[in-house]
Chains A and B, each alone.
Chain A
């Protein structure tokens, strides 16, 4: 995938005198020139408010904004463009479902079901709904290697569960959940399912209709698009029945002081002037990924991930955190007694960017009894040389800490 690396201008720089090795893609991926250009073109030539004016710039802005929605609908195979709601990111998508879908449908004695490996964004919005309604949070356990205990998860799918919210891919451990099997079982029991797809979408083909989930949330910036931009996919019948979450312009058909009629989908959930440049960038990111092909990306990353795991396993003092059979992109680890934060600084000084800390998954870190990990996460532009540099960087850390 050498040719793709050259598409990303940020990768062609030196950090502390060394060529950048960017292994923090699970936090945020770099942007290809095509995305940067699309956002710049919008701001340079096509900026105006959407859905409002009859003038040319407004039309162009609307075209960029709505065109991107069509692209995303195709990318995840939604049944209709009305099922693609723009948000500021995965976090907002989940909060939207928490407040607009779950909150009116849940009460005392009822539960929302999550798992132990969720990101804080897939924990806290549900805790807020529980506080607001008196409902309870149920948490399915994981095993030592970082896989959800499927028997336990299914046992927790009781009659009083009003929603299952689960990650497609764990951001901290890289575990790929058997999401099809999980969604099938939940649907068999009539439990609505939200899938946190922030770490799924950049690395594998997503078909929301085949999967059969009710909601799928993801962010542009983890799939080579801009920050502040995200998507909530929701089944049209459910979105239709949900009240708006935020009030304002754009989400209305008619406003009178004795009552307001809300706009149709998806605009009902998009109050206020939206992130139009973000949508333009998201559209370009989808084009970019589709031109390469998600299958090819998944195969390439799987091979590179296996190489990374092999190389890391041979480093003296290495403890891999998260060794699920099926995992994608991510590897968390600890090196001897070196604190992850120190490791992060030492690697950075060799030009190697990794994430260190609790990865917004504090309950997971507590389960492993560790303060945090160092995490290397791959994207389509990484290569074996990046992995070799990481391993050499770790040797240097061992040398300093003796």
Chain B
């Protein structure tokens, strides 16, 4: 792939769309779980809010904060994807996604629900940007485990 194609692959329309118009953006008033994700080297800072129902599934997910197009789009896609999921599947989900964004196991089939995340896979050609794409997912893991410390990419 040429350098220009790599760049187009990183900034696909779906990514730019989510970066410009992030979904579920804002504070969640009745959140039961939340976590901060910080990327100290570039200053990305996201706050993820979850409302987890009594049946241990995610009823609602929102985020706020600021970051680059990749980190914001990734957080926006995350809130889309995790709503409705049971919390017990989330650890595996975070593992699958962070591994995949690092460029490993790309040939594995993705669950249909996760197919949108293919849009983020261009990031694996940009080592310095992988942590932007994984930031929100680290925060998700912290939120469901109620970790008090901010999730960081370092």
Instruction: Decide if A and B are genuine partners.
Output: yes
By a beta-carbon cutoff of 8 Å, the part of chain B in contact with chain A is 2-4, 6-8, 10-11, 16, 20, 41-45, 66-70, 126, 128-129, 132
Q: A339-B67, A339-B69, A401-B16 are in contact. Are A365 and B43 (CB under 8 A)?
A: yes
Q: A349-B6, A372-B43, A402-B16 are in contact. Are A341 and B68 (CB under 8 A)?
A: yes
Contact indicator B68/A339 (Cβ below 8 Å) = yes
Contact indicator A357/B41 (Cβ below 8 Å) = yes
By a beta-carbon cutoff of 8 Å, the part of chain A in contact with chain B is 16-18, 337-342, 345-346, 349-350, 356-358, 362, 365, 371-372, 400-402
A371 CB contact (under 8 Å) in B10, B44, B129: B44
A372 to chain B, nearest CB (A): 5
| Distance of A357 Cα from B67 Cα, bound (Å) | 11
Q: A365-B43, A371-B67, A401-B16 are in contact. Are A17 and B7 (CB under 8 A)?
A: no
B126 CB contact (under 8 Å) in A337, A340, A345, A402: A345
A396 to chain B, nearest CB (A): 9
Query: Which residues of B lie under 8 Å from residue A339 when comparing CB positions?
Result: 67-69
Task: Classify the secondary structure of A's interface with B.
Answer: mixed
| Distance of A226 Cα from B16 Cα, bound (Å) | 40
Contact indicator A346/B7 (Cβ below 8 Å) = yes
Contact indicator B11/A400 (Cβ below 8 Å) = yes
A402 to chain B, nearest CB (A): 7
With most chain A CB atoms within 10 A of its CB, the pick from B41, B69, B126, B128 is B69
| Distance of A345 Cα from B10 Cα, bound (Å) | 10
B132 CB contact (under 8 Å) in A341, A349, A358: A341
Contact indicator B129/A345 (Cβ below 8 Å) = yes
Query: Which residues of B lie under 8 Å from residue A371 when comparing CB positions?
Result: 42-45, 66-67
| Distance of A139 Cα from B6 Cα, bound (Å) | 45
Contact indicator A16/B3 (Cβ below 8 Å) = yes
B63 to chain A, nearest CB (A): 15
Contact indicator B42/A341 (Cβ below 8 Å) = yes
Closest chain A residue, CB of each to CB of B3: A16
| Distance of A371 Cα from B67 Cα, bound (Å) | 8
| Distance of A64 Cα from B117 Cα, bound (Å) | 57
B76 to chain A, nearest CB (A): 14
Contact indicator B43/A357 (Cβ below 8 Å) = yes
| Distance of A345 Cα from B11 Cα, bound (Å) | 10
Closest chain A residue, CB of each to CB of B20: A337
A306 to chain B, nearest CB (A): 29
Query: Which residues of A lie under 8 Å from residue B43 when comparing CB positions?
Result: 357-358, 362, 365, 371-372
B54 to chain A, nearest CB (A): 38
Query: Which residues of B lie under 8 Å from residue A16 when comparing CB positions?
Result: 3, 6
A345 to chain B, nearest CB (A): 6
Q: A339-B69, A342-B70, A371-B66 are in contact. Are A357 and B7 (CB under 8 A)?
A: no
| Distance of A190 Cα from B126 Cα, bound (Å) | 53
Query: Which residues of B lie under 8 Å from residue A365 when comparing CB positions?
Result: 43
Contact indicator A342/B3 (Cβ below 8 Å) = no
A267 to chain B, nearest CB (A): 37
A399 to chain B, nearest CB (A): 11
Query: Which residues of A lie under 8 Å from residue B44 when comparing CB positions?
Result: 341, 371
- 29 CB contacts below 8 A, A to B, read A16-B6, A17-B3, A337-B20, A338-B69, A340-B68, A341-B42, A341-B44, A341-B67, A341-B70, A341-B132, A342-B68, A345-B7, A345-B10, A345-B128, A345-B129, A346-B11, A349-B4, A349-B6, A357-B41, A357-B42, A362-B43, A371-B42, A371-B43, A371-B45, A371-B66, A372-B43, A400-B16, A401-B11, A401-B69
